[in-house]
Structure 1
Amino acid sequence: MMGLEFLVTSLLVIASPGTGVLLTLAAGLSHGMRGAVVAALGCTLGILPQMLVAVTGLATVLHASSLAFELLKIAGVCYLLYLAWMTWRERGALTISAEAPSRSDMQVIRHAAFVNVLNPKLSIFFVAFLPQFIQTGDLHPTVTMLELSATFMALTLAVFVLYGLFAAKARTHILSRPAVLTWMRRCFAAAFVGLAFKLALEHR
């Protein structure tokens, strides 16, 4: 049975600032509530490939293979640095501006999902974290794994939507102040560099 410990731990992991949170905040600031919800949905759907990899056991291979982990980590670091550069240059999906280029919901969802595909630590999270909450002797461990994963995804969507809606509420206040907007762009860019550096130091 799903316990309070799983829910609390999951919330702590999800609420920790990361790429998905930054993307959702940027969407809320630039495109309002709808943009925030769509970005949150995309980030949540981006968990699906990681979940399927974990359930099928491929994440264990990734965890055991130094080369596979390092290659995925390098790709993730490069992508985070790319996001930092594009944010600093006020271009791309994370542009924070009232005049940010319009993007279709599908484009936003694809981009948000891609962010999580290049996150090797999410795969390791499913291998190292979720199995701890599967009881020894569970007759249907795969079903339990799917249930826990679905709960994790639901919590992710809820938390990211809250982040995005908060940003959307502050949108007018922030976008009407160029100095604040510039400061936020630089903070976002710095945060991506920090996340890239943190990921580069990660070990299996």
Structure 2
Amino acid sequence: MPGGFDWIGFLIAVAIIELTPGPNMGWLAALTLREGKKPAFAAVAGIATGLSLQLAAAVTGLTALIISAPGLHQLLHWAGVAFMLWLAWDAWKDGGSVALVSVGQERGFRRGLIANVLNPKALAFYVLLINQFVRTDAGLPIWAQSLILGLIHLTVATLVHAGIVLVAGRAGDGLERWRTSVPARLTFALMLVAIAVWLALTPPRS
């Protein structure tokens, strides 16, 4: 990757997004409490597999789009800003996960895989956020930069999801109460807004 690549900015953005309370966090915590760590870790593997498929689709699609329409880079930049603001709103309004009602009906790997393969938010993340950090003038092709960044996100996401299972096994219902509390939702929403503002003030990389 180019020497001027903003590793710290990317890692901070990814960490905040993955630590923000959301459906995966609530579902994994509930699954751990109801069925134990074994099916919950299987679900983590399913989520990682689903995200990997989304990453593969995004890497090939993003490369094709930028090559075929150079002006799209600017459009994707502002779409990425809007996406971060949408994530902030989504984090704030999440007062409880409806997925908890039916979590006992589905198991581990298959549920995690299907939920994330069919999740448009995951594909939007790989297309829109990664675009903020790739450089068309770098030594590596766009697809290679996107793949590296996507794999970094996949690693962070898997570590966070595994951590949720471990914490839920110890904290019990306390994790769900914290996840849906106003201070937690407000804090993460404001952090996501801050990322959106930072991206908006950072010129698109070309």
- Could you say whether these structures have the same fold, taking a TM-score greater than 0.5 normalized by the shorter chain as the test? yes
TM-score (norm. length: structure 1): 0.60
Q: Partner residue of 1:148? A: 149
2:37 to 33, 37, 46: 33
Question: Offset at 1:45?
Answer: 1.5
Secondary structure at 2:21's aligned position in 1? coil
Contact 1:36–1:168 (CA<8 Å) still a contact in 2? no
Q: Partner residue of 1:125? A: 125
Compute the RMSD of aligned alpha carbons: 3.1
Identity %: 27
* Cα distance in 2, alignment partners of residues 167 and 15 from structure 1: 14
Contact 1:29–1:170 (CA<8 Å) still a contact in 2? no
Equivalenced residue count is 143
Secondary structure at 1:57's aligned position in 2? helix
Q: Residues 40-189 of structure 1 correspond to what in structure 2 (within 5 A)?
A: 40-57=44-61, 84=98, 87-88=100-101, 92=102, 94-95=103-104, 107-138=107-138, 139-171=140-172
* Cα distance in 1, alignment partners of residues 113 and 23 from structure 2: 11
Contact 1:20–1:115 (CA<8 Å) still a contact in 2? no
Runs of 4+ in 1 over 3 A off after TM superposition: none
Question: Offset at 1:13?
Answer: 0.9
Contact 1:36–1:165 (CA<8 Å) still a contact in 2? no
* Cα distance in 2, alignment partners of residues 50 and 18 from structure 1: 18
Question: Offset at 1:118?
Answer: 2.2
1:33 is matched by which residue type in structure 2?
K
Question: Offset at 1:40?
Answer: 1.7
1:12 aligns with 2:54: no
Contact 1:28–1:167 (CA<8 Å) still a contact in 2? yes
* Cα distance in 2, alignment partners of residues 87 and 124 from structure 1: 24
Contact 2:31–2:40 (CA<8 Å) still a contact in 1? yes
TM-score (norm. length: structure 2): 0.59
Question: Offset at 1:17?
Answer: 1.7
Q: Compared with structure 1, are the counterparts of its residues 129 and 87 closer, same or farther at alpha carbon in structure 2 (3 Å cutoff)?
A: closer
* Cα distance in 1, alignment partners of residues 171 and 19 from structure 2: 19
- Alpha-carbon displacement from aligned partner over 1:98-130 (angstroms, at most 9, x marks no partner): xxx7x7xxx511111111122212212211110
* Cα distance in 1, alignment partners of residues 123 and 21 from structure 2: 18
1:24 aligns with 2:24: no
Secondary structure at 1:23's aligned position in 2? helix
Contact 2:51–2:154 (CA<8 Å) still a contact in 1? yes
Q: Compared with structure 1, are the counterparts of its residues 87 and 159 closer, same or farther at alpha carbon in structure 2 (3 Å cutoff)?
A: closer
2:117 is matched by which residue type in structure 1?
V
